């Protein structure tokens, strides 16, 4: 049975999600499609109310807080962060999930750390902090940002687990830096994961943002098929290889 999915955000034309998901559907042999739809800030509820086509949605900037507010059921990660990047249509509305947490945790899984810096205080920064707290609770975590109000909200949520400091205090001393600030790259770092992608050539100590993108998309696929991001798919290695391979195709 044909089912339709999409990624929503603004801007959206540069999204790699249609390629990644379509590659997975091909391997699975299922009659699903995935497209990119521009939805501007403030329009999520109206879009969800108007659309009847999509069984599920991937949500990107700047809509992740709005998607949280529009969800009538939430998974644990979404509840802890206040962030939703995945929506699934149900008979009673939309269920919201946060797969960015899993994506970030997987992207940094091979990096040995005692200290981690998170740059930024928006939706992705919250997911980054949650990924670290839930998988590396003994790490020293410092969140650096310009926005004092949103930085304070993160500090309130994760009191006693992290430090928060203004962005100008960042020096790059931490073992790992997770940068969630668009169009910004720190000058100094030991190992860097930038959660955005398309930043050109990466140095030896840099992790591409596509790593996070691929892993969170795999978790979305688990949700769309099995209803849970914790329930693995059959032949997941082959599926993931196809998803990764789609990024090198012209």
Point out the residues that are catalytic: 64
Q: Are the CB atoms for 107 and 126 separated by under 8 Å?
A: no
What does the buried/exposed string (b/e) look like for 75-108 if buried means 16 or more CB atoms within 10 Å of the residue's CB? Answer: bebbebbbbbbbbbbeeeebbbbbbbbbbbbbbb
Q: Are the CB atoms for 171 and 189 separated by under 8 Å?
A: no
Q: Are the CB atoms for 38 and 56 separated by under 8 Å?
A: no
What are the C-alpha distances in Å from 210 to residues 14, 36, 52, 199? 13, 17, 30, 10
DSSP-derived secondary structure letter, 205: T
Q: Could you give the dihedral angle defined by the CA atoms of residues 147, 148, 149 and 152, in that order, rounded to the nearest 10 degrees?
A: 120
| Rounded Cα–Cα distance for residues 248 and 250 (Å) | 7
| Rounded Cα–Cα distance for residues 84 and 92 (Å) | 17
């Amino acid at each position: 049975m044909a089912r339709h999915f999409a990624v929503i955000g603004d801007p959206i034309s540069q999204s790699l999600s249609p390629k990644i998901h379509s590659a997975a559907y091909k391997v699975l042999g299922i009659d699903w499609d995935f497209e990119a739809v521009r939805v501007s800030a403030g329009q999520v509820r109206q879009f969800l109310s108007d659309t009847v086509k999509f069984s599920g949605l991937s949500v990107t900037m700047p809509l992740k807080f709005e998607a949280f507010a529009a969800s009538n059921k939430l998974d644990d990660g979404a509840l802890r962060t206040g962030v939703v990047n995945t929506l699934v249509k149900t008979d009673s509305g939309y269920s919201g999930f946060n797969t960015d947490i899993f994506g970030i945790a997987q992207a940094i899984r091979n990096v040995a750390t005692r200290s981690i810096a998170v740059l930024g205080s928006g939706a992705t920064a919250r997911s980054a902090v949650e990924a670290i707290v839930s998988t590396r609770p003994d790490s020293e975590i410092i969140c650096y940002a310009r926005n004092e109000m949103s930085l304070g909200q993160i500090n309130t949520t994760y009191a006693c687990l992290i430090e928060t400091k203004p962005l100008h205090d960042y020096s790059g001393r931490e073992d790992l830096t997770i940068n969630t600030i668009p169009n910004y790259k720190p000058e100094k770092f030991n190992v860097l994961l930038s959660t955005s992608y398309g930043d050109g050539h990466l140095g030896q100590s840099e992790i591409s943002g596509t790593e996070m993108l691929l892993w969170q998309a795999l978790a979305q696929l688990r949700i769309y098929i099995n209803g849970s991001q914790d329930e693995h798919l059959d032949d997941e290695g082959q599926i993931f290889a196809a998803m990764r391979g789609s990024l090198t195709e012209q």
